[in-house]
Amino acid sequence: MDKNVVSVILSFTLYVLYVLLPMIPSIVIYRMFPDTKVSATGILSNMNFKTTGAFAAYVITVFLGFFLVQNTHHLIAQISSPV
């Protein structure tokens, strides 16, 4: 298989996992503690946010995974040759 095709498939898979994988903790939190208030507040990219519940767990997990995904994407980009 061509290196460019492999890098595109890996990039697509990485971003799909980046969006879907953080749903696992939020679903677990929602199932285990449906009435408990989990909240997150703060500033993210000059935008204020205040979330509660399972969505707060999702936002926190996505934010923590951003740097890992960004570094991994740079490694995947090095596989392909520029055209």
Neighbours of 16 (CB within 10 A): 10
Name the more confident of 73 and 83: 73
Using one digit for the tens of pLDDT, what is the confidence trace for 51-60?
777 777 777 7
| pLDDT at position 10 | 85
Give pLDDT tens digits for 2-61: 777 888 888 888 888 888 888 887 788 778 877 777 677 888 778 787 877 777 777 777
pTM score of the predicted model? 0.58
Residue 14 C-alpha from the chain's centroid: 9
- In 1-83, which ranges are continuous DSSP H helix? 3-20, 23-32, 54-77
pLDDT of residue 81: 65
